[in-house]
Structure 1
C-alpha cells in the first residue's frame, strides 16, 4: 500500500509560532496615542489580532481623526523599530511549538504571515525556529495580498508545489482561519482563548501546540 504523501504545513507566525502578540499589542498601545489615535493593548487583543497594521490605523482614523500627511510612514517606521527591539530582547516560541515542529520534520513547511518579511525573519531568528522552514517564507507585504484574503495562502501553496487540498493552515487568528477555509485547505485553529473565541465550522480547534502532531496525523490518514 502506497504511503500517504505528507501534507504541506502552512504556519502563521505571530501568535502561532512565536508569542509576539502581547509585545505587538503593547507597542501599538504606546505609539498610536502618540499620533492622536486612542488605543490600548487590550483593544488589539480583543479586536485586531492578526489584522494588517494599515487596516488598524485606517479603522482608528475613521473613529477619531485623520493622520496628518506623511504621518503614517513615520508611525509605521516607529512601530516596526520598537517591535523589532522588543522581539530581539524578549520573544519566545509558543509553548510546545519547538517539540511539535521536531515531530513534524517529515512534512514540507512554510511560514505565511500578514507581517513584513523582515519581521518574520526577526521572529524566527530570535526563537531559533528558522531551520524548520528552509527559508520558505511568504509575506503579505511581498505578495501584496493580506489575510483574510485566501489568495495569500493559495500563492504560498502554489509556490510550495501543492494543491490546496494537500495543505494544512495552522493559525491562531480569525483572519487567518477564515483565509485558510476560504482557500479550500485543512485548517487547524490554535485557539489560545477557548473561553472567548469559537473555532469556526470546518476548522479543527486545538488549545496547545502539543496537540498539533496528532491533529495533523489524523488528517494525513
Structure 2
C-alpha cells in the first residue's frame, strides 16, 4: 500500500519543510545503500543493536507457559518478533480464548529488565560497525523509550546516538506503518531518501518501504527470504555493514 500518500498528515510532519504531504514512492529516488549517498542511518533496536529478541521472547514464552498456555521461545519469536507487546498479548489472549491478568504486560517488562541486566549482549560486530559509520545515527523502535535506554546502557551503545532514540510510543503509531521512520528522519533533519534503515523484522522492513526509505535486512536470526520478499537487501553479519554502506571493505 502507498501509506505515505493516503494517510492523514500528523502535526509533526507539518512542521517540516520537506513537502506539504507525506512523500509518496514516486517522489523519492531509489538508490543503492552501497554508494553511501545517505546522510543518516536509522537502526532498529531489538535484534539489530542488542540481542534482546531471543531473551525477551524467552521471558514472554516462560510467563505465558506458567499461566497454563504452553508456548516455546521459538514459537514466541516466530509469532511476535518486532511487534508491540500489547499486540502480542492480544494474540495470546485470542489463542487462549481467555484474558490475561490486567498487570501482565507490566510483569513481563519487569522480568525482561531483570534478564537483560544479567544476560543482554550487543549484537556481534555492531560496535565495530557503529564506530566505522561517520554519519548521523539514530534508533527507532516499536519498544518504549525506557526499554531502549536500558538495553543500550547495558550494552554501552548509547554513546553512538547522542540521545537520538525514537519510540513508536512517542509517535503513537507502530511499525509496519511508516510514521516512526518518517518521524526519525524529521528529527535528524534529513529527507527520507537521504536515510537508510537497518532492520531485522518483516514489520520493520514494511515500515521502511512504506516510508520510501531504503532498507537493509539483518538476517542472522531472521529468514532472508522473508525480509527480501518485503523489500529488504539482506546481510548476515554486522561486520558486513560498513561495506554495504560503501564505507570500506568488510571487517575480517
TM-score (norm 1): 0.89
Q: Which residue of 2 is the match for residue 134 of structure 1?
A: 162
Matched, 1:67 2:99: yes
Q: 1:142 to 1:197 in 2, by over 3 A?
A: same
Q: Which residue of 2 is the match for residue 143 of structure 1?
A: 171
- Choose which of 62, 86, 90 in structure 1 pairs with 2:119: 90
Say if 1:37 and 1:65, in contact at 8 Å, map to a contact too.
no
Residue by residue over 1:12-54, the C-alpha shift from the partner in whole angstroms, topping out at 9 and shown as x without a partner, is: 0000000111111110011123445442211122222111111
Structure 1 residues 187-198: aligned runs within 5 Å: 187-193=215-221, 197-198=225-226
Q: Distance in 2 between matches of 1:194 and 1:17?
A: 14
Q: 1:154 to 1:48 in 2, by over 3 A?
A: same
Matched, 1:101 2:130: yes
Structure 1 residues 1-221: aligned runs within 5 Å: 6-67=38-99, 71-72=101-102, 74-104=103-133, 106-193=134-221, 197-201=225-229, 202-217=231-246
Residue by residue over 1:50-92, the C-alpha shift from the partner in whole angstroms, topping out at 9 and shown as x without a partner, is: 1111111111222222316xx23x1111111111111111111
Say if 1:172 and 1:191, in contact at 8 Å, map to a contact too.
yes
Task: In structure 2, list runs of 5 or more residues that go unmatched.
Answer: 1-35, 248-252
Q: Which residue of 1 is the match for residue 5 of structure 2?
A: none
Say if 2:171 and 2:179, in contact at 8 Å, map to a contact too.
no
Task: In structure 1, list runs of 5 or more residues that go unmatched.
Answer: none
Q: 1:196 to 1:10 in 2, by over 3 A?
A: closer
Q: 1:159 to 1:11 in 2, by over 3 A?
A: same
Q: Distance in 2 between matches of 1:164 and 1:8?
A: 9
CA shift at 1:140, angstroms?
A: 1.1
TM-score (norm 2): 0.79
Matched length: 211
